[in-house]
Amino acid sequence: MAIVSGMHRISGAVLFLFIPLLLWLLQQSLATQQTFESFKSAVSSPLLKLVLLGLLWAYLHHLCAGIRHLALDLDRGTELGAARASSHVVLIVSVGLTLAAGAMLW
C-alpha cells in the first residue's frame, strides 16, 4: 500500500520540523524547578497536548513503518499479499499504540 510509504516520508519530515520544540521542552523540564513547573503546565495545555499526541503518532508510525522496511530489506514478507498485510499492520499498530499511550499519559 503506497499510503504507508508516503506517510513514512511525511511523518519523518514532520518529526524533523518539530525537533526544536522537543529539545526546548527537554531543556525546560531540566533547567530549574520553576521551568519544570512551567513545562508541566505547558504540556497539559490542550493545544500542546494535541501537538505532542500527533508527534507521538508520527514517531510510532515512522518506527513501525521502519521496522517493516528493515524486514523487507532482509527479504521477509516481500510477496505482494504479505507486504499489503504488513502495511495494514503498521497503520493499525501505530494508531493503537498512540491511543494507548495517550490514554496512559492523560
Partner 1 sequence: MVNRQAVGAHYGLRDWLAQRVTAVVMAIYTLLFLAVLAGMPKLDYPHWKALWALPVIRYATLLFLLSLFIHAWVGIRNIFMDYIKPADLRLVLYVLVIAALVCYTAWSIRILWGT
For the residues of 51-72, what is the DSSP string, one character each? Answer: HHHHHHHHHHHHHHHHHHHHHH
Provide φ and ψ at 75, rounded to 5°: 70, 30
Q: Taking CB under 8 A as the rule, does residue 9 contact partner 1?
A: yes
Q: Taking CB under 8 A as the rule, does residue 88 contact partner 1?
A: no
Q: Taking CB under 8 A as the rule, does residue 19 contact partner 1?
A: yes
Q: Taking CB under 8 A as the rule, does residue 13 contact partner 1?
A: yes
Q: Which residues bind partner 1 (CB under 8 A)?
A: 9, 12-13, 15-16, 19-20, 23, 26-27, 29-31, 33, 36-37, 63, 66-67, 70, 73
